[in-house]
Amino acid sequence: MTLHRPSTLDEALAAAGTPRAGGTDLGERRRAGRHRGPVVDLLGIPDLDDLRIDDGGARLGALVTLDRLATHPELARRYGALTAAVGALATPQVRRMATLGGSLLQATRCWYARAGVSCHRTGGDTCPARDGDHRFHVIFDLGPCAAPHPSTTAMALLVYEATVEVAGGEDRTVAELLGDGTDPTRGDTLGTGELVTGVRLGPTDPGEATAYLRATSRLLAEWPLVECAVRLRLDGGRIAAAAVAAGAVAPIPLRLGAVEARLVDGPPDPDRLEAAAAAAADGAAPLPQTGYKVELLRRTVLATLRRAVGLPD
């Protein structure tokens, strides 16, 4: 077992091994025997936990913890969908340890891959969930792997059109970072010798209407069946711009263009929101056991939209 402890970014880029930030995902997989081999500990690299925010936008270092994101008042004022989403994920203890970068790059939650069954993710060439129990899997079936992408944070960043800073490679959008969902072996496009160092967010307008919701069986601390983030710019009683994203429904988090198109230029009234949410699952092709997510996605989008514009739950 090798533990690399680089003290500069260059050393980290040169080290061979799996990068580790907060360790909440990698640590679990190593304990369960699902990951072996050298680890590159990133905690000794200075300045990766910087957080800057002003009228021009925000820059969030890759090692900023999720708890810090979720409880940052200025971030909440300007990027409400992000802070609400991050505050709703995992548990208080995990949020204090897990980082922004790790949250974007975490491994799949598929219960087959986590159990070490041979599959695309574990070095095999099949998806046992397809013929097995896939009740928590996708309805937008974009690639051979049927597991949904686990990153709530990435889903929320989609509505802010964030840029991911990559050392050792090109900066890219969140969508580019996560790919198109067709590569069943991984949930991101980061190459060897590349590290995520931070995320840049553009400016927002004061008074944007934002919300985040997840559908779960228990109230807290549960992976979502379906989740949704909404960011609306309202202008004179009209929706001037809309960004709506959904998670837990596809191998990557999705922007729901059809919903956005039905929102823009209309009033934020219940009928308009209902009509827009009805388009949330357009193009979905559920698996035999995920049909329920089609309706649940429409409903979750509706509930999130209503919450964003201040309609009662």
Partner 1 sequence: MIEFDVNGEPVAAPETDETLVEVLRDRLGLCGTKLVCGGGVCGACTVHLDGVPVLACLTPTTAAEGRSVTTIEGVGAPLHPIQRAFAAFDALQCGYCTPGFVMAAIGFYDDWRARHGTKRPPRDEIAAALAGNLCRCGAHEAILAAVAAACADDPAIDEPPVRVDALDKVTGRAVFTTDVRLDGMLEGVVVRSPIAHAHLHGLDLDPARALGAVAVDLRRDDPTLRYVGDPIAAVAAPTRREAEDAAAAIGVHLEARPAALVPGADPPVFPDRRSRKRAANASEGPLRPARWRGNVRGPVATSFPPFVARTRIRRTDPARLHGGTFVTASQTHTPLEPHATVARWEGNRLTVWTSTQAVDAVRTELARHLNLDPSQVRVVAEHVGGGFGSKLSMDDTVLAAVELARIARLPVRVVMDRQEELTVGGHRPAVHLDVALAVDDGHLDAITLDAASETGAAINSPVGAIPFFMYGGAPRSMHDWDLLSHHPPGKPFRGPGGPPSLWAVEQVVDDVALSLGVDPIELRRRWDGNPKRRALYDEARALDLWRERPREPGSGRFRRGVGVAAGNWAYFVDPDARIGLEVREGVLRATSSVQEIGTGTRTVIARALAGEFHGAPIEVVIGDSELPYGPMSAGSRTATSVGPAAVAAAEHLRALAAERLAVDLGGPVVAEVDGIRHAGELLPWPDVLPRLEGLSTQATRPGDAGGFLSPFTMLHTRLGRGSSGAVHVVEVEVDTLLGRIRVVRCWAGISAGRMWSPITARSQVEGAVIQGIGYALYEERVLDPASGRTLTANLEDYRIPGIADVPEIEVSFNEEGWEHVPGGGVGIGEVATLPVAAAIGNAVRAATGWRPRRLPIRPEHVVEGVGR
Pick the closer one to partner 1 by CB: 2 or 182.
2
- Identify the CA nearest to 26 among candidates 118, 83, 85, 94: 94
Does 34 sit near partner 1 (CB under 8 A)? no
Q: What is the DSSP string of 220-252?
A: SS---SEEEEEEEEEETTEEEEEEEEEESSSSS
Instruction: Beginning with the edge strand found earlier in the chain, give each strand of the sheet holding 18-20 in spatial order.
Output: 3-4, 39-41, 18-20
Q: Which of residues 148-187 bind partner 1 (CB under 8 A)?
A: none
Q: What backbone torsions phi and psi does residue 226 show, to the nearest 5 degrees?
A: -150, 145
Which of residues 24, 83, 106, 197 is near partner 1 by CB under 8 A? 24
Pick the binder of partner 1 from 217, 236, 271, 288 (CB under 8 A).
217
To partner 1, the closest distance from the beta carbon of 190 in angstroms equals 21
Which amino acid is present at 97? M
Nearer to partner 1, 176 or 222 (CB): 222
> Is the Cβ–Cβ distance between 89 and 126 less than 8 Å?
no
Alpha-carbon span 170 to 209, nearest angstrom: 32
Residue among 55, 206, 207, 218 that touches partner 1 (CB under 8 A): 218
The residue within the footprint of partner 1, chosen from 9, 11, 13, 28 (CB under 8 A), is 28
Q: Which of 53, 76, 215, 287 binds partner 1 (CB under 8 A)?
A: 215
Report the 10 Å Cβ neighbour count for 261: 12
Residue pair 146/287 in contact (Cβ under 8 Å)? The answer is: yes
What is the nearest approach in angstroms of partner 1 to the Cβ of residue 225? 6
Distance, CA of 238 to CA of 278 (rounded, Å): 19
Question: Binding to partner 1 (CB under 8 A): which residues in 190-209?
Answer: none
In whole angstroms, how close is the CB of 29 to partner 1 at the nearest point?
9
CB atoms within 10 A of CB 209: 19
Gap between the terminal Cα atoms of the chain: 52
Q: According to the binding rule CB under 8 A, does residue 41 interact with partner 1?
A: yes
Interface with partner 1 in residues 71-130 (CB under 8 A): 90-94, 96-97, 109, 111-112, 114-115, 117, 128
Amino acid at 182: T
Structure tokens at 132: 């097995």
Of 7-15, 158-166, 184-192, 298-306, the window that binds partner 1 (rule: CB under 8 A) is 298-306
Sites of contact with partner 1 (CB under 8 A): 1, 3, 5, 20, 22-24, 27-28, 30-33, 39, 41, 43-44, 90-94, 96-97, 109, 111-112, 114-115, 117, 128, 131-133, 135, 213, 215-223, 225, 292-293, 295-296, 299-300, 302-303, 313
